[in-house]
Amino acid sequence: MSDELEIYRHQGFATPLGLGQAPAVLVIDFVHGFTDPAHFGGGNIGPAIARTVELLALARARGWPVAHTRVVYAEDGSDGGAFAMKVPALLKLTEHSPLSQIVPELTPAPGETVFRKQHASAFFGTTLAAWLAFRRVDTLLVAGCTTSGCVRASVVDASAHGMRPVVITDCVGDRAIGPHEANLFDMGQKYADLMSLEELRGALARNTEAEVV
């Protein structure tokens, strides 16, 4: 791995983006269906949900915009595409299915927006980009699942929309740890900064100190 890391360093990857001036939090698909291994859950998704409770408390205390996403398909599956063709069980995630409901510990607060999507990226086919642009967001703090799927797709699109994506590493999870770790590495090299929640708190504290000086 050290030799592989040297290749990335030599080629100029992993330059830090840093935190901008206007953060928002995006919580991706933390719904009941992704907590249960009998459906789409497993791995470290449960611990990531628990940690995201703290991230939301931080965001709400600071008055940051917060967006949540759910995967929601029509009852008859008529809006399903290639994603649902590849994983047909996703069509169970309908508007009123218990599986598609956000877990209670992450219930959106008043003023937080829930975006419904049918594809991996939180941006594709939604108004998320316009919602963030209206709020002049320049830094998107990302939590959710799965790291290798909807988190990664959303991070790539956030970068393409001109934001600084920051993946909060202990607030994202996957049903298998191998894909989780591999995709964190790749996002950190190409598209996003990686920070644990404690590292985020430290960076915010340093920024505050710098402003005071």
First to last CA, the chain: 40
Would you kindly state where each structural domain of the chain is located, as residue ranges?
21-212
150 an active-site residue?
Answer: yes
- Rounded to whole angstroms, the Cα distance separating 128 from 95 reads 19
| pLDDT at res. 130 | 98
Q: What is the mean pLDDT of the chain?
A: 95
| pLDDT at res. 80 | 95
| pLDDT at res. 125 | 97
- Rounded to whole angstroms, the Cα distance separating 203 from 90 reads 37
As a CATH number, domain 21-212 is 3.40.50.850
| pLDDT digit string, tens, across residues 59-114 | 999 999 999 999 999 999 999 999 999 999 999 999 999 999 999 999 999 999 99
For 76-107, b where at least 16 C-beta lie within 10 A, e where not — what string?
A: eeeebeebbeeeeebbbbeeebebbebbeebe
Catalytic residue among 48, 49, 150, 156: 150
């809006």: which residue's tokens? 79
| pLDDT at res. 137 | 98
Is the torsion defined by CA of 25, 29, 35, 40 positive or negative? negative
**Confidence check: pLDDT of 150 > 90:** yes
- Rounded to whole angstroms, the Cα distance separating 191 from 135 reads 22
Tokens of 60: 């709400």
pTM > 0.85: yes or no: yes
